[in-house]
Amino acid sequence: MPDVDVIVVGAGPAGAAAALEAARAGRSVVLIERGPFPGSKNMYGGVVYGRILDDLVPQWWEQMPIQRWVTRRQTMILTDDQALTVDYRTENWGRPPYNGATTFRPDFDAWFAERAVDAGANLINSTTVTGLLRDGNRVVGVRTDRPDGDLTAHVVIACDGVNSFLAKEAGLYHHDGAENYTLGVKETIALPRDVIDERFNVRGDHGVDIEMLGASPDVPGGGFLYTNAESLAVGLVLSLPALAASGLRPEERIAQLKAHPAIAPLVEGGEVKEYSAHVIPEAGFDMMPELIADGLLVAGDAAAMCLAAGIWLEGVNFAIGSGAAAGRAAAVAVRHGDTSATGLEGYRARLESSFVLADHRKLRDAPHLVMSDLAQQRLPALACGVVEQLFTVGNPVPKPGLRRIVRGEMKRNGVKLRDAAAQGWRALRTFG
Amino acid sequence: MSAESYPEMSFEARMGTVDFRIHERPHITLDDRKCVDCSVRGCITACPANLFVPTADGGILFNYEQCFECGTCYMVCNEEGAITWTYPDGGHGVVFHRS
Ligand SMILES: Cc1cc2nc3c(=O)[nH]c(=O)nc-3n(C[C@H](O)[C@H](O)[C@H](O)COP(=O)(O)OP(=O)(O)OC[C@H]3O[C@@H](n4cnc5c(N)ncnc54)[C@H](O)[C@@H]3O)c2cc1C
Ligand code: SF4
Ligand code: SF4
């Protein structure tokens, strides 16, 4: 008999959800985390979309540790010295059941892992899993860096994040080239609460989420700025190969962003309290590994389930959705006494019938579209150029027609009508 | 956009904001004999902790201590066997508090 029914590796959102669901189904569960506490190794931009917790933690919004509820969301298009912003605010996102909240991962992940512990999972911190134990092709447990650290189980659920050495060791990855990954870097910048309220035009525990296009002109990616209670999170997401070849380091790029005329007044006078970095699986559906093997399931970033599609950067909710599905599928398989790949097939069915694979399948072209040179450089310049001309009063010259402005800006930015139309059509098919 | 117009902190001060619980075992090692043939040297630009420092003789000096454990270096490296990458022993390495 194995030591436990289910071993979950990694106490991020995917692992905590998997452990919670397997434990709730009555299985014995060990949740292993290499950091001294869950969340200690994890950084992200800043917003958790909590509705995925409805089924897992009743009234979650009354207990989840948050910084601010996001009631204002902006998409900003930047060139060197221009900014075009779409700004949306709604009070609906500031009352139950809410929409998104800024929260620190060391707080959120620790809180969520505790919910798994409440359900009966055994959380073991400060323990690194160094490999899989196998019997032939079948995964039967894990090796850890503790003395006598081998642990066996009916099912291992790999929720070990973006580098997933477990999924790689099991041979499940086929598209893990650097071009499918981005580096996220960020600064947490302290500012007094009332300064943040004033600069961002919010009150109480309401806050702002700003996503930026054109924030790192020569390297595909994006920028972000989020408000916490008494700090801002400012950072960039950068395509790995382009960054590596660019000669300009990540922190220099953050400095540039902070000096942008549209951003500088927002961050001015703030003190950097923490600098952080983490890699993101960027390519979505097309890079996903095989998800199921004999005795093994893969969930969350370990399975490249982060949705990184320009205006969306959602990984925590996808991690929780996939982790919960893995935990439930593992529990059923253990109960039925078949934890082979066939016995674990229920995992795929659960993912297919939920937002996790539905959104990823629908948006599979989005990462390529968003990271294209057209979307990253030429469209931002074009959009800013058009708006600038539209609102520049050039008396005594009469106002130019919109069509002429657009044509002129397309030409200046090397955007061909045919390319724009083709890209627009692809975008409509993807996002529409 | 000019970086000069913003008073920037030193890189040491930047890394000083991060909590590292250093273990005596280097979790990443570099065989920089492999680096001599590398033309891109992407690690130097991309490592967010700036841990890859070129030396006068064409090698690379590497220190594992202030590492985010992000994985960027082994992903951008194009010389097989230059970087040997593992996670630090449990409980050690970077600890985030406000991210
Ligand atoms: C810059 C940036 C901005 C982002 N912004 C957002 C955002 O605003 N909203 C959002 O929803 N998502 C965002 N994401 C994505 C999100 O952070 C991830 O998708 C999410 O964290 C994935 O959760 P996970 O549980 O799968 O993996 P992780 O959160 O990475 O957790 C993996 C866990 O496994 C542990 N572990 C790994 N290997 C081992 C091992 N061998 N032994 C033991 N433990 C191990 C790790 O310590 C870690 O705790 C962002 C990501 C980045 C980098
Ligand atoms: S990219 Fe790899 S081979 Fe090239 S210099 Fe860096 S570590 Fe050496
Ligand atoms: S893992 Fe990340 S922080 Fe550590 S050395 Fe490699 S690139 Fe630098």
Residues contacting A95, CB < 8 A, separation 6+: none
CATH of B25-92, one of 3.40.50.10490, 3.30.450.40, 3.30.70.20, 3.40.50.800: 3.30.70.20
Name the closest-CA residue to atom 3, ligand 2: B35
Helical H segments across A174-315, by residue range: 193-200, 240-246, 250-259, 264-267
pLDDT in tens, A3-46: 999 999 999 999 999 999 999 999 999 999 999 999 999 999 99
Residues 293-312 of A with CB under 8 A from B: none
CB pairs under 8 A between A and B: 148
Is the pTM higher than 0.95? yes
What's residue A367's pLDDT?
87
What average pLDDT does this structure show over A325-334?
98
Q: Token digits for A155?
A: 């099912």
Chain B: give the shortest CA distance to residue A353, in Å.
Answer: 32
CA dist A60 and A83 (Å) reads: 37
Q: For residue A32, how far is its CA from the centre of ligand 1 (angstroms)?
A: 15
Lowest mean pLDDT among A104-108, A109-113, A310-314: A310-314
Residues in CB range of A283: below 8 A, 6 or more apart: A175, A179, A180, A181, A304, A367, A368
Q: Which residues of B touch A178 (CB under 8 A)?
A: 75-76
Q: Domain locations in chain A?
A: 4-67+103-175+284-363, 179-281, 372-431
pLDDT exceeds 70 at position B84: yes
Rounded mean pLDDT, A116-123:
98
- Tens-digit pLDDT profile for residues A289-316: 999 999 999 999 999 999 997 778 999 9
pLDDT of B4 over the 70 cut: no
Residue B5's pLDDT band, with cuts at 50, 70 and 90, is very low
Which CATH architecture best describes the domain A179-281? 2-Layer Sandwich (3.30)
3-state secondary structure of B53: strand
Residues B63, B72: Cα–Cα separation, whole Å: 15
Q: Which residue of A has its CA nearest to B40?
A: A245
Q: Which of A386, A390, A389 is nearest to A378 (CA)?
A: A386
Q: How many residues does chain A have?
A: 432
The answer to whether A110 contacts chain B (CB < 8 Å) is no
> How far away, in angstroms, is B39 Cα from ligand 1 center?
32
Q: What span, in angstroms and rounded, lies between the C-alpha atoms of B99 and B93?
A: 16
Model pLDDT, residue A14: 99
- Higher model confidence: residue A217 or residue A241? A241
Tell which CATH architecture fits domain A4-67+103-175+284-363: 3-Layer(bba) Sandwich (3.50)
Residue nearest to atom 2 of ligand 3 (CA): B70
Query: What does pLDDT average to over chain A?
Result: 96
Report helix, strand or coil for A419: helix
Could you tell me the distance, in angstroms and rounded to a whole number, from the CA of residue A20 to the centre of ligand 1?
Answer: 17
* Whether A325 contacts A159, CB under 8 Å: no
Q: What is the pLDDT of residues A65-104, one digit of tens each?
A: 999 999 999 999 999 999 999 999 999 999 999 999 999 9
- Residues whose CB is less than 8 angstroms from the CB of residue A158 and which lie 6 or more positions away in sequence, other chains included: A9, A10, A164, A166, A167, A170, A296, A297, A298, A299, A302
User: A35 at the B interface (CB within 8 A)?
Assistant: yes
- For residue A37, with 0-12 CB atoms within 10 Å meaning exposed, 13-18 middle and 19 or more buried, which class applies? middle
Q: Which atom of ligand 2 is nearest to the CA of B83?
A: 7
Q: How far apart are CA B66 and CA B62, in angstroms?
A: 11
Put simply, the answer to whether B91 touches A247 (Cβ < 8 Å) is no
